[in-house]
Amino acid sequence: VKRITITIDGPSGSGKSTIAKRVAQALGITFLDTGALYRAAAVAIEEAGCRVTSNEECGEAVAQTSIRINGQKIEVNGKDVTEKIRTHHISEVASKIAVHPSVRRELVKIQRSFGGLSSLVAEGRDTGSVVFPDADIKIFLDASAWERAHRRYRELLDKGSDIAFDQVLEDINSRDQRDSEREQSPLVIPEHAVVVDTTHLKQDDVVARILSIVEEKLADQ
Ligand code: DC
């Protein structure tokens, strides 16, 4: 069977990670969570004590850090940061350092190194537009800001956080704004992407929808 690349992009909380993971599992192919790399870079930058506003300092810190995906785990200089990168604080830092071209350059290199190896589902903000512009199938997942904030809020509550819903909604809105208005690889609907609005869809239905898009596409080839 031909090697295929599927990209799934969309805003924070659109359900990309869960959906992409399930699609990869159903197809038996590799899953690449690119946001995890930005989150790991945020940990590295904090540990290096850099200013999050400095493109040069952040890029330098990332270039000097080993960021590795090891099965289900993600490591920064050999240290397992899988749980640490999921905190609310790291989400904020990741969104700030993701604006820097020098950081993106380093992380895109890591992402592309996965592309040559095997069939892949890559998930992020720019995987269809910048990282894998020649991907076979591009999906753009969306949902209303309120729905996305609610999903995040429930996740955070489950983890024992006592954050207020309004705070999560405000953060989603400002993260959306940063992600789509930044100069470097802003969040856009990639050319030839299929837009799937998940606001009123169940996870199972979203997965089924994407799998049928993949099937159709493969039958065409
Ligand atoms: O998808 P996520 O919430 O784990 O992503 C964390 C941050 O990284 C988010 O603020 C946007 C940024 N990001 C990015 O700029 N480009 C990507 N391909 C993936 C994530």
Predicted confidence (pLDDT) per residue in 52-97, tens digit: 999 999 999 999 999 999 888 999 999 999 999 998 899 889 999 9
Nearest CA to ligand 1 atom 4: 35
**Cα 221 to middle of ligand 1, angstroms:** 32
Ligand 1: nearest atom to the Cα of 126: 18
Which of 212, 33, 217 is closest to 131 using CA atoms?
A: 33
Spatial neighbors of 186 by CB under 8 A, at least 6 apart, are: 126, 179, 180
Whether the per-residue pLDDT at 1 is higher than 70: the answer is no
For the segment 6-33, what is each residue's pLDDT rounded down to a tens digit? 999 999 889 899 999 999 999 999 999 9
Q: Are 62 and 141 in contact (CB under 8 A)?
A: no
**Cα 94 to middle of ligand 1, angstroms:** 7
- The average pLDDT across 121-142 equals 96
What average pLDDT does the chain have?
Answer: 94
Q: Of 5-9, 185-189, 203-207, which gets the smallest average pLDDT?
A: 185-189
- The average pLDDT across 149-169 equals 93
Nearest CA to ligand 1 atom 9: 95
Spatial neighbors of 133 by CB under 8 A, at least 6 apart, are: 190
As for ligand 1, residues whose beta carbon falls within 6 Å of it are 12, 34-35, 38-39, 91, 94-95, 98, 124-127, 175, 179
37 or 87, higher pLDDT: 37
Whether the per-residue pLDDT at 159 is higher than 90: the answer is no
